[in-house]
Structure 1
Amino acid sequence: MKWVTYEAGDGVRTGVLDGGSVRGLAAGTTLEGLLTTGGLTEAGEDAWRAPAEVHELAEVRLLAPLRRPPSVRDGLCFLDHLRGCYRALGRDVELAEVWSRSPAFYFANADAIVGPYDDVPISPGSTMFDLELELGAVIGRGGRDLHPDRAEEHIAGFTLYNDWTARDHQVVDMAQGIGMAKSKDSAITLGPALVTVDELEPYRRDGRLMLELSATVNGEELTRGTLAQMDWTFGELLAYISRGTDLTPGAVIGSGTVPGGCLLEHVDTPGLGDFKRWLRAGDVVSLSGVGLGETRQTVTQGIDVIPLRADG
């Protein structure tokens, strides 16, 4: 099933896509709640059999399928993305051995979730605003200390994930050395739907999903890639994340950026690569994935920075 969260004039509702229509459940039902109670499958059957309402898709506004997940972590499972960033920065692309020991991840801002067609303001004070093409896995069944061969059984479904990044703020974050902060704090796009695992089984090859993902800026393709390029699988990522801690239903785990799926790997800035520029107000950014749908968002001007001190 393809689960959506939407507005149709009488508040936020949850439902499933049926071609060009949405079959909605009763008011107050949320995907977060259904995942927590384990009622996703039964609720989906109810939506098909006896929906509380039905709307044409063109009549509703799609929101992020999970508007406030209990947690968001973002991995780095495509090491060629890291090599591409290093290359653009003029650094040695030979990765340290630590990158082959375990998949890296950081905790992202669950309060920064935006919908698949929402405008995205540039982070305050940023002149190097970037997109990142990713896939998000949503946990359906909780657990801890998961085995990498079975951890994917805990995934309820997948959604497109745009990890908007202020690259100039990231320089500060990395210099301070305690993790991603204001560079990753302003927006994370999820949507347009949470597509359940069973819907994507036709794209599984040799035990792995082979979904193709792509990103465009103003209609110009930035990159196209597949999950076959992942150096760390979702099973390995979830197993590592769950060591000694609980993964809870509704948690979102990002795959990391598909190689070439951010401007840092391309942008024409002194010392960098060959794309035209960083994002600016008016740019339209779209992500798409086979079986997952498409996001389409306009970048808008951000607010000015408020000085922290009178002299600064």
Structure 2
Amino acid sequence: MRIARWTHAGGIGEGFVIGDGVVAFPRGLTVADVLAAGLAELPALAAEVEADPAASALPLIEVELLAPLVPASVRDFVAFEEHVEGVTASVDGASHVADEWYTYPTFYFTNPHSIIATGEEVRPPATERLDFELEVGAVIGGIEGSDGRDLTPAEGAAHIFGYTIFNDWSARDVQGREMKVRLGPAKGKDFATTLGPWITTADEFGGLVDDEGFLAIRVEVFVNGERVGHDLLSNMGWPFGELVAYASRDSRVVPGDVLGSGTAGNGGCLAELWGRAGELTPPPLAAGDEVVMRVEGIGEIRNTVGRARPVPGIPPARTRSRARERL
């Protein structure tokens, strides 16, 4: 099943994507309500819609899709070794994967307030190295009797409600400056993350999950109609269940959390290609460029790059006396 959010005739709708149309959930339920109830409750809800003669579909072409959820939080992992190899070459001039990468699946928190939908224009910061990141996001749902804490990998996998396409837009020059302070990425990725076009429920992928839990689906990205990257999601260093388990360690995951796979290899972002080429080839994204991502079993998202907005300046740090008492 697929679930989505959309606007139509000035209102917001939330419900199922059925064929080429959308049908609202009954009883005024929202995507957040459905995620909290969990995947196990979804078939009964679908049956309720099917049995309701008043449930009418709107054609997809007549609605404007929103991001499929308002995330509770967004964690983004770096789970593809090939991506790390290429990006370190771009940043440091030499390809290297730190030993620590192999120990645990590392992630950072990104901004849940900068989520955009397919079709929206991306407004980047002032940057000369705008980039995309081809990812898949796992969306967490509720499970009765679980508070989402200290999960095993099997329990983590069971908490996955479904998957959506995840584009972690990145200003690489801003990111590089920030990370020299040994924090971040922050403002280099703060401005936009595309989620969409909808959430495809985890049960739809049963035949594509191997014995270790890896999801073998095709992912690809196009810039202005030219394919620049493609990979299999199963090239992640850890399956999603283990990412969820690690996120929950000494913490918790809750319905509505989104966990990004990290950027796919083999051209999943421009920075990887820059590192391998030793130059900015293909060129950084510019205003007017269209980025399209397609993921098997989910669908397609597309966004056009806009222009940076002028923003108020902030002065550099001041030299201070380090006095310990007021004069």
Aligned: 1:134 with 2:165:
no
Verify the 8 A CA contact 2:175 2:184 in the aligned structure 1: no
Identity over aligned pairs, percent: 38
TM-score when normalising by structure 2 = 0.88
Q: How does 1:221-260 map to 2 (within 5 A)?
A: 221-259=227-265, 260=267
Q: TM-score, normalization: structure 1? A: 0.92
Matched to 1:171, the amino acid is G
Task: Check the 8 A contact 2:84/2:96 in 1, yes or no.
Answer: no
Partner of 1:157: 162
- How far apart in 1 are the matches of 2:275 and 2:123? 22
State the alpha-carbon separation in 2 of the partners of residues 262 and 167 from structure 1. Answer: 11
Alignment partner, residue 62 of structure 1: 65
CA distance in 2, matches of 1:48, 1:110: 33
Partner of 1:280: 286
Contact 1:137/1:155, CA 8 A, preserved across alignment: yes
Does structure 2 retain, via aligned residues, the 8 Å contact 1:115–1:191?
yes
In the aligned structure 1, how far is the partner of 2:150 from the partner of 2:9? 43
Is 2:273 the counterpart of 1:266?
yes
State how 1:32-47 maps to structure 2 within 5 Å.
32-38=32-38, 40-47=42-49
Contact 1:16–1:47 at 8 Å: present in 2 too? no
Once the two structures are superposed, residues 234-271 of structure 1 have per-residue CA deviations (whole angstroms, 9 ceiling, x without a partner) of: 122111111111110110000000012111122499x8
CA distance 1:273–1:40, shift in 2 (3 Å) = farther
What secondary structure, in the 3-state scheme, does the structure 2 residue paired with 1:253 have?
A: strand
Gaps spanning 5+ residues in structure 2: where? 319-327
The 3 A distance-change label for structure 1 pair 53 and 27 is farther
How far the C-alpha of 1:311 sits from its partner, in A, is 11
Residue 202 of structure 1: how far off its partner (Å): 2.8
Q: In the TM superposition, what is the alpha-carbon distance from 1:181 to its structure 2 partner?
A: 1.1
| Amino acid in structure 2 at the alignment position of 1:287 | M
The reply on whether 1:187 has 2:192 as its aligned counterpart is: yes
Superposed CA RMSD:
2.2
**Within 5 A, what are the aligned runs for 1:68-87?**
68-87=70-89
Q: Once structures 1 and 2 are overlaid, which stretch shifts more, 147-156 or 203-212?
A: 203-212
- Equivalent-residue separation in structure 2 for 1:15 and 1:300 (angstroms): 30
Partner of 1:212: 218
Match of 2:324 in 1: none
CA distance in 1 between partners of 2:23 and 2:17 (Å): 6
Deviates more, 1:226-235 or 1:32-41: 32-41
- For 2:66, give the aligned amino acid: L
Mapped to 1, the partners of 2:165 and 2:72 lie a distance apart of: 18
Matches within 5 A, 1:96-135: 96-123=98-125, 125-135=126-136
State which drifts further: 43-52 or 157-166: 43-52
Residue-by-residue CA offset, 1:105-152 (whole Å, 9 max, x unaligned): 0001000110111111122x2121110000000001251111123311
5+ residue gaps, structure 1, are none
- Checking the alignment, whether the CA contact within 8 Å between 1:122 and 1:280 is kept in structure 2 is no
Stretch moving more, 149-158 or 107-116: 149-158
User: Which of the pair has more CA radius of gyration?
Assistant: 2
Cα deviation digits, residues 207-243 of structure 1 (max 9, x gap):
4311110001001101110112111221221111111
1:33-55 deviations in whole A, cap 9, x for unaligned? 22124454433333333264311
Indicate the SS of the match to 1:184.
Answer: coil
Give secondary structure in 2 for the equivalent of 1:189: strand
Structure 2: distance between partners of 1:48 and 1:9: 24
Q: CA contact under 8 A between 1:122 and 1:281: conserved in structure 2? A: no
